[in-house]
Structure 1
């Protein structure tokens, strides 16, 4: 049994354990390498996953943070918007936002010629204005007005980019504001004007226009509240009523009336484009300031309207080929100096500080105003050297003091500037002498009475010896009062003034309307005191009207818009008598000789009588001519603002020529009327007086007291 078992093959062991183990082949070494690579990748994956996880966690953290912060911010903003929503006024109360009322000035024919204050033509809506104006505003100011929610991120980003590219701060210059934001700014974010909080309205407006980041944020909140409270058309209506459009006009209705004398509903495409173009720079682009610049801006607006489909190509070409022009009424920019004077002469609460809309009827005659302006322009253009800084002023008035025209400087059609006709106080020179002779005539002197023109000196207490001279340096001996005035002789004027009494001369001139302080020295007779042109012209008007005082006036009537009864009437006119009528008529006769035979020859008119007086102050710093016809009194002053002496100019020269140019125009078409003058009775020719009795006593009529007074005066004057 044993042998038989040994000879048989093993069934199991041989299969499980082969005799010779198989040799390991080279490919079998790969599995360990593969495991190593997998471990590296796994390691790298774990690192990347770690950082990815961190980034993902950070992202999720900040996302949740910003989401929550955004939600909180949105809630806060919503709260602010909700609060502003509750404070917004009804649309009807938001349309007229002026702090001041308007003042419209009418001339003597009830035609408007000047506007002051804040003009408001009445309420308009987005539906009642011309569609051309509505489309022009949208095309220019906010093309996406009807699609955004009150603010335009795209517009803000574009504005910031433009500002930075132009070297400005991100919020300086272009603002990217929507019409809603602009309306919010016009509403001053709900803050109303309080005179206790701001010094003036200008400071209030400047505060409303501030462009800080904080302010922009408040503006955006307010705009969002407006979008919730009002419809788009209501927002646009507020904007069209509140926006300043130049020329003192607030709102589309006032602008349409101011520039084109028509309602806002009747504006053409070019007119609507011109008004819309003003919104970027209303003062400098106003057509009343620069019509060419305004037309150029309107052409750009028309192009924008075309690009946005509001106008066809044909409509655009037609509108650009026929630009808008001012109406005849708007072109009549006149009387700026006069309007300023009237505004200053009226009560502040109805003129400069009015909260009501006021209409003032005035004495201005636009034909005469233009004549005065043209006279100054003509003389300076033809007879004054180019580049001269000399100034001139002119006042034309009726004999009762009603001012018909006024120019306060060479620059016309202006307002709010220095008015040399009313504000400048200048030495009057010989233009004052008529009041010296008026005093003498009132006391009984005759225009034919003689006075000696000779070297003359006086001892003035505190000043020493004073020796006046004639302008020409010549002396004429015995001359009549008429000759002395006609030749503007200084010595006779001083003698007459001192003989009748300096105090009396001052009283007469003050009663005639010269309210400026008059010097109490002998030089009073030579016009050493200062006065305004308006005062002097008014005083001469008193001579023309027969010797009664005059208060110059321009305001005839003041009333509120919509009211029939005036609140106040004329504040000037003829006052009390100063000298008797005969003396005044004789003085007019003497002053007529100044023009027909004396220093005022250049003022002579070919068809009618003229009376007046020249005047030249010390060192020729001022030159005057004041005169009158039977119809009008006109005063002209010329000089430098800094008191520089005039070169070769006296009152008998350029001022008389300006006067002549003005009065030729003023009297066109007027019937010729003679001056209301009386030629005095010439002195009687008498025989040679006897030695024991002075000749002047024989010639003198009247009672003994009058003879004694006349003899005393002649002794003072040195007459033989």
Structure 2
């Protein structure tokens, strides 16, 4: 029904019933309950996932923080690194180069540094050999080689070592970081020795490896690859005191590092693994075997063609003459002790010492000694020997301190350190006193039974080596035959103090006790002292001071800091007496106990010496050109078997001096033969008094005189 105003009512019209009713809205579909996954019902898995989410959430943040801190540390270290030129020579000590009398290098001491080199100036074979051996990915990484580290850990674990023990997988950059000790220079004030400091720098721990990695990346950021390689080439230790490849090239091959052949470069690169073990001066064959391995690596990595590699294997590196000879080890040690310590053993500068050393004479001494031991001494003998050769002014030309020098500085040098009784080698100084007092060489003395009353020891009756008596003999005959009784009689006649003083003035001042047995060599001396004393006889009666150092200067400087001008000192006996004594000693070699030392066609003079029970055997003598002394014995004083001074020592002297004089003109000895028979040289037949020379109270009591000195 409509309203009166014609408007539609607000109430809806009723629907006709006949009208098809609307379909009922579909009932709301019941929400299916969410299927709970089985994993959510497993608390273990849920906990694991929660932990993973926590670790990841913390881990990436910590990782990012570590990365930022590492980057900052790398940048900081890179900013503080000095220029490359300040890092190439990291030695805290200097080196000593020793030159012989011809200005040729024969020995080195300290750490030798040949001078700064760079990767772009050295032989390309050397650069390639080092990279092939130590770090074939050197030019492709940023200081670290994860592949190399993983491989090294795998090898170490497979060989039963710790992951950081043995192979380190270090790149060249990491090795440089270690050589630089992570930027911490050595300081004596640290309380560590230099050796302890280097050991600490090489120590491998996890913390130190982390620092090493950071420092390596800093170097990669600061320096070029060639800069890093240059530091390595200059600082690496390569054995035999050589620091850096330039020093090693000069030390082993006598040439610069920019001239090295593939075989030589491979040998030097092979030293990086174990310098002392593979040093060619220690074991040349082992060093060559190692070099062959390096050559193979170079070939595999394309640095050498097959033909070049084959040539390197076919003609392996050979040592320079100086390196091969390893000459003058004992001599070099002795000379090092002659200079001031701050310029030798403890020098912080590079020093050059010119010496009196003669490599030809040294070789002669070594070969002569070896010849006798190879041909005259039983196999396996532990007997030792020492040799000194010098000029008449005391300039030492050669020194053998023992049968085998092992190439290590500081070995026991029997020529200068072993004080041994001299036996009859002392007798020339008894006769020197007599000649200086005016007794000519043909003065007579009775070789007969003779006894002395030694205060505190009783009666002492010396005997000759042969246990026989020769009757009346001249002083010349007595010395030539090394008769003991005449020597003691002359000793008593001229005065003990006079003989001891002359011996001391000639250089035999090793606590000589003034007793009658001194005449037969009871005092102790070194071989160097005995040789210098005989040099005094050769030069006309003046003392000599043995010397080996001529001048010392800093490397690169012309003006020397130290100069030695000669070793002749004050006169000890008259020149005429020295010439007469030379004649007597010449007779000892011609017709006396020293005939085995006689030189063919060249005059020489000398004297044998053998001590009690043959514990020491000597021969010391000279030509007009050189003086040589030989000692033979055991280090523990074991008696020699069947050896006297006139035996093996005289033969060694002969072999050495024959070689020394090869090619030299023959010069006459400065000697004077006797003219007329003089008075007898019998001791005075009176009671000794405290005021008489030679009869003062003995400084020591001689308790074993009868056992000692039945010697020649």
- Judge same fold: TM > 0.5, yes or no: yes
- Does the C-alpha gap of structure 1 residues 443 and 495 become closer, same or farther in structure 2, counting only changes over 3 Å? same
Contact preservation (8 Å) 1:113, 1:334: yes
* Matched position secondary structure for 1:120: coil
The answer to whether 1:401 aligns with 2:394 is yes
CA distance in 2, matches of 1:116, 1:44: 80
Shift of 1:392: 0.5
**Of 480-489 and 388-397, the range deviating more from structure 2:** 480-489
2:207 is the counterpart of 1:236: no
The 5 A counterparts of 1:575-594 are 575-594=569-588
Q: Equivalent residue for 1:9?
A: none
Aligned 8 A contact 1:547 1:581 in 2:
yes
Counterpart of 1:21 in structure 2 is none
Question: Given the superposition, is the C-alpha separation of residues 209 and 305 from structure 1 closer, same or farther in structure 2, using an over 3 Å criterion?
Answer: same
Alignment-derived partner of residue 74 in structure 1: 67
Distance 1:714 1:597, change over 3 A: farther
**1:565: which partner in 2?**
559
- C-alpha separation between the residues in 2 aligned to 1:145 and 1:383? 58
Question: For 1:338 and 1:199, how far apart are their aligned partners in 2?
Answer: 31
User: Partners in 1 of 2:287 and 2:418 — Cα distance?
Assistant: 35
- Among candidates 102, 125, 129, match of residue 132 of structure 1: 125
The answer on whether the counterparts of 2:492 and 2:683 sit within 8 Å (CA) in structure 1 is no
The answer as to whether partners of 1:334 and 1:413 remain within 8 angstroms in 2 is no
- Evaluate the alpha carbon distance shift between residue 622 and residue 314 of structure 1 in structure 2; reply closer, same or farther with a 3 A threshold: same
The 1:227/1:431 distance shift into structure 2, 3 A limit, reads same
Partner of 2:684: 713
In the TM superposition, residue 329 of structure 1 has moved relative to its aligned partner by: 4.4
CA distance in 1, matches of 2:602, 2:448: 35
Match in the other structure for 1:497: 491
Residue in 2 aligned with 1:530?
A: 524
**Does residue 477 of structure 2 align to residue 483 of structure 1?**
yes
Residue 245 of structure 1 is matched in structure 2 by 238
Query: In structure 1, what is the equivalent of residue 460 of structure 2?
Result: 466
**Greater relative contact order structure (CA < 8 Å, 6+ sep):** 2
CA deviations over 1:329-361 (Å, ceiling 9, x no partner): 433421111111111111111111111111111
* Unmatched tracts of structure 2, length 5 or more: 1-29, 689-712
Partner residue, 1:654:
648
Q: Deviations over 1:487-535 (max 9, x none)?
A: 1111221222222222221111111012322122221111111111001
Contact kept? 1:106, 1:114, Cα under 8 Å: yes
DSSP-derived class of the 2:369 partner:
helix
SS in 2 for 1:249: coil
Determine the C-alpha separation between the residues in 1 that align with 2:228 and 2:247.
19
SS of match in other structure, 1:146: helix
Counterpart residue number, 2:608: 614
Q: Which residue of 2 aligns with 1:354?
A: 347
Residue 180 of structure 2: aligned partner: 187
Q: Of 387, 391, 414, which residue of structure 1 is paired with 2:384? A: 391
| 1:424 matched residue in structure 2 | 418
CA distance in 2, matches of 1:711, 1:508: 20
Change (3 A) 1:669 1:60: same
CA distance in 1, matches of 2:358, 2:319: 22
Match 1:665 to one of 659, 663, 680: 659
Counterpart of 2:86 (choices 76, 80, 93) is 93
Q: Report what 1:633 is aligned to.
A: 627
- Between stretches 308-317 and 588-597, larger displacement belongs to 308-317
The answer to whether the 8 Å contact 1:334/1:369 transfers is yes
Could you tell me which of 288, 301, 304 is aligned with 2:294?
301
Name the SS of the counterpart of 2:140 in structure 1. Answer: coil
Does residue 84 of structure 1 match 2:84?
Answer: no
The secondary structure found in structure 1 opposite 2:90 is coil
| Bigger shift: residues 162-171 or 610-619 | 162-171
Give the Cα separation in 2 of the matches to 1:415 and 1:54: 67
**Worse-matched range after superposition: 375-384 or 294-303:** 294-303
In structure 1, the residue matched to 2:51 is 58
Distance across 2 between alignment mates of 1:589 and 1:547: 14
Match of 1:330 among 323, 330, 342: 323
1:152: how far off? 2.0
- Give distance in 2, aligned partners of 1:50 and 1:393: 88
TM-score normalized by the length of structure 1: 0.88
More divergent stretch after superposition (611-620 vs 444-453): 444-453
Q: In structure 2, how many angstroms separate the alpha carbons of the residues matched to 1:65 and 1:375?
A: 79
> Which of 127, 138, 143 is the matching residue for 2:136?
143
Of stretches 551-560 and 306-315 in structure 1, the one that deviates more from structure 2 is 306-315
After TM superposition, give the deviation of residue 676 of structure 1 in Å: 0.5
Residue equivalent to 1:206? 199
Aligned to 1:394, the other structure's residue is in SS state: strand
Structure 1 residues not aligned, in runs of 5+? 1-34, 685-695, 701-709
Structure exhibiting the larger radius of gyration computed from Cα positions: 1
In structure 1, distance between residues paired with 2:493 and 2:162: 76
Q: Aligned pair in 2 of structure 1 residues 47, 186: CA closer, same or farther (>3 Å)? A: closer
Distance in 2 (CA, whole Å) between partners of 1:572 and 1:83 is: 59
Q: 1:167 to 1:607 in 2, by over 3 A?
A: same
Sort the Cα spacing of 1:682 and 1:413 in 2 relative to 1 into closer, same or farther, 3 A. farther
TM-score (ref. length: structure 2): 0.89
CA contact (8 A) 2:490 2:682 kept: no
2:374 aligned to 368, 381, 388, which one?
381
Q: What is the alpha-carbon distance in structure 2 between the residues aligned to residue 173 and residue 218 of structure 1?
A: 19
Decide whether the 8 Å contact of 2:107 with 2:322 is kept in 1.
no
- Report if aligned partners of 2:362, 2:398 keep a CA contact under 8 Å in 1: yes
Q: CA deviation at 1:282?
A: 1.3
Larger mean CA deviation between 433-442 and 198-207 belongs to: 198-207
SS in 1 for 2:568: strand
Match of 1:682 in 2: 676
- State how far apart, in whole Å, the 2-side matches of 1:665 and 1:485 are: 27
1:292 is matched with 285
Q: Is the alpha carbon distance of 1:199 and 1:433 closer, same or farther for their aligned partners in structure 2, counting shifts above 3 Å?
A: farther
- The structure 2 residue matched to 1:600, chosen from 581, 584, 594, is 594
